[in-house]
Amino acid sequence: MSLLAASVSQAPALPLAGIRVIEFTHTIMGPYCGMVLADLGADVIKIEAVEGDRTRKLEGFAQGFFPTFNRNKRAFAVNLKSERGQSIVKELIATADVVIENFAPGTMERLGLGFEQLAADNPALIYCALKGFLTGPYEHRLALDEVVQHMSGLAYMTGLPGKPMRTGASVVDIFGGLLGAFGILTALRERDKTGQGQFVRSALFEAACCFMAQHLAGEAITGIKREPLGAKRGTWAVYRTFQTSDDKSIFLAITSDQHWRRFCAEFRLDDLLTDPSIQTNEDRVNENARLMPIIEKLFASYDLDTICKRLDAATLPFSESSRPGDLFDNPQLNHEDRMLSVRMPNGKMAKLPRMPLEIGNHDFSLRNHPPELGEHTEEIMRELGLGEELSELSALNVVRAPSKAAAA
């Protein structure tokens, strides 16, 4: 029996078992927040329009959005523009601990589903709004991940001078969603003490600005305006990619004098090891123009596999430069079944990383594939004692369930 299988057999109930979350979200930030809670064991019910979440209809690589961020949830399809649809959802919220939403400012209030409207009948409710901005002069504005990357300076720092560039993933959406989950968990803990729910807000712009704090501090200390990372004089003398003999790229970070000594010893660079002019990192930064050609030539004399083994033996921070698809076979990600086999919209299975946490014996596995539209509508209606209304409400387009459920 594998270590993972052994631990699963003894695994306790997941940390958020017994917590119910009603999720009104779309795209990435909101769904990611809900998925974190679902992975941790919460019963997350995704509320969708009867037409479905718009990310279900995306094409190309964007087809991966919905299955990536909606595992371990249940799906309830309902027409929120109908009075009966709203009343059913309010009945469902009455059974919940948490509501999450990431629609445009004012949308939930117009539907009668704002925090103050719901908390009046459920004072223990925790309500998380995921927006573009926290309270302030911009709180009414719409925002997207890439918008705030430019607004915060993240795109400026990622690109080259005069050529701002977004990061290669939706890092602000994901971080903002994670902060929302963090706020919800904090509010749940506080509710344990007070019995009271509260309003939680996370926002893209402020989340992106967190990434800029170190650059703000540097500017404040030095009085020098920050240059993009691609153009700056490095803090570390060796902190970049090199090409190997088999035309592969590898990144090496030598961030301490101990790293430098181990590097020189591993590759028998005795002249560099004993050179008094490059004994400290600052010395090596100043001698960068002399050192880089030497290290470039060294790397070009080894293939990727050999150089990786030697850098590993020297206990140095390094990595080959990978493409996303390389992760499917990454031995670290695949250790003890840490990659989840998730069903895609076209029926194919894809290996995706699971929750990147280890907490005791908990197993953050795949309990439910990303749900089909309305997959759990019948189940949830019956939980609410409304099963007998399902056929009629489906015919009126108030709710949507798979045909076999609608005919029940």
pLDDT digits (tens, 9 = 90+) for 150-208: 999 999 999 999 999 999 999 999 999 999 999 999 999 999 999 999 999 999 999 99
pLDDT of residue 10: 56
Q: Are 123 and 96 in contact (CB under 8 A)?
A: no
pLDDT confidence of residue 403:
74
**Domains parsed from the chain with CATH numbers:** 3-211 (3.40.50.10540), 238-325 (3.30.1540.10)
Q: Is the pLDDT of residue 3 over 70?
A: no
Structure confidence at residue 230 as a pLDDT band (50, 70, 90) = confident
Pairing of strands 43-48, 20-24: parallel
* Residue-wise pLDDT tens digits, 121-135: 999 999 999 999 999
- For the stretch 8-30, pLDDT in tens is 445 689 999 999 999 999 999 99
The HSE-up count of residue 230 (CA atoms within 13 Å, CB side) is: 13
Position 318 scores a pLDDT of: 98
Q: Take residue 94 and report the two structure tokens written for it.
A: 């009455």
Q: Please compute the mean of the pLDDT values over residues 333-357 and round it to a whole number.
A: 95
Calculate Rg over the CA atoms of the chain. Answer: 26
**Strand-pair category, 73-78 with 399-400:** antiparallel
The answer to whether the CB of 126 falls within 8 A of the CB of 190 is no
CA angle 374, 379, 381 (to 5 degrees): 85
In this predicted structure, the answer to whether residue 1 has a pLDDT above a threshold of 90 is no
Distance CA 32, CA 38 (A): 10
pLDDT for 223 equals 97
d(CA 157, CA 227): 7
